Structures are given as C-alpha cells and as structure tokens.
Amino acid sequence: MLTYSQSIIIHEALPKEYRDIAELLFPSDRFSNVSIGKAALAFADILGVSSDYKRILNAENGELRGFLNLFQKNFDLLIQKTWVEQSEKEYKEELQDKIPGFIADIEAKNYKKTLVDFSIILEELSYLLFGAQSRKSDFTEYTFRIDEQMGLFWYYGQQLKNFQHHFDSEDYCDETSLKAILFLGICYLTNF
C-alpha cells in the first residue's frame, strides 16, 4: 500500500484540471458528502468513457453480460499484445486466467471483492505494459506524460490499491458506490 506521502505525490502529479474531480472520488484527507456516483460520472467523463459508463452502470443482465464479454476479449487482446520475456509468459497466462472468476464475481455483485481483485489485476497489467517503471513512485506522473487520460486511469488504479481499507467505511459501503467505482476501470479497459 502507498504511504500517505506517496499518495500526495501521486495526487500532485494530476494536471490541475483533473485534480478537483479526482479529489471528489479519492479524497486525500477524508471523505466528503459529495455523492460517489456523481464523482464517478465526472471521472468517467474525463476518462472519455462516459457514454459507455452511463449505459453499463444501469444495464440489465443480458447487456451487462455482453459488455463483460467484450471487456474480457479486449483484455485478452491487450495481454496478447504485450511483449514479455520467455520466463514471464506464465505470469501473463495467470493474469488472463483471473478474468473469468473476476467477471463471475461482478455478475454475482460482489463488488468489494472485485474492487480488491481489480486493483491486483491492474497492478499486474501495468507491469506487463510498462515493466519495472510501473513499480516506481513516479509511475503515475510517467503515464501522464505519455497521455493524460491514460495517466488518469493509472492514477485510478493506484488509488484503488491505496483506498482498499476504505471500502468498508460508510462512504464506500453501499453496493451502488462500489459498482460505480469498479465500472470506471472496466469501461476504460474495454475501450483501451
């Protein structure tokens, strides 16, 4: 888990125009009374996935199933396109093997578990995409220099890991809020 000072450094790496919205979703000190759903919608907008996000957040089972299948296909394509050393191919396959269970947990509406699992999946994915750079304290800043939306997404991934202990708090305890936060990342990776 990130230390408080590392979290502040990551937060400061955000471009100013994104900082206020990110602060509503992942506050640096304590949670505000702002609806997590509204903050997540604003975050989805700056990630460039707001139309899919709105649609899938309220989707019925059939439409959700189709979207999750698309997520899995896109995730598999992304993993297949990563170049890894021969010794890391098993690592790549293990990550792909996690996705069916992850999707089953989403369909079972086990959002606390899926948020924790998703933070692990994102950490592993960042390693496959960026190598050792993904483990450095300036990783978020590094991704912002590549592309602002991508940087914001990896900021989101870092914050999921950092805020896992808050998922049991009153602000994050309801399933609607947990689902709202989870589906931000799902929508982004589906459209990556």
Q: Count Cβ atoms below 10 Å from residue 60 Cβ, excluding itself.
A: 7
| Mean predicted lDDT score pLDDT of the chain | 84
DSSP-assigned states of every residue in 138-167: THHHHHHHH-HHHHHHHHHHHHHHHTGGGG
Q: Which helix (H) or strand (E) holds 173?
A: none
Residue 48: left if φ>0, alpha if ψ -120 to 50, beta else—which one?
left
Question: Residue 186: pLDDT band by 50, 70, 90 thresholds?
Answer: very high
pLDDT tens readout for residues 76-96: 999 888 877 776 788 888 999
pLDDT at 167: 64
- Give the domain extent around 103: 4-190
How confident is the model over 36-51, as pLDDT tens digits? 888 899 999 999 999 9
Which amino acid belongs to residue 174? Answer: D
The count of structural domains within the chain is 1
Residue 109, pLDDT > 70, answer yes
Asked if the model's pLDDT at residue 1 lies above 70, the reply is no
> What would the two tokens of residue 31 be?
């949670």
> 70 is written with which tokens?
């698309």
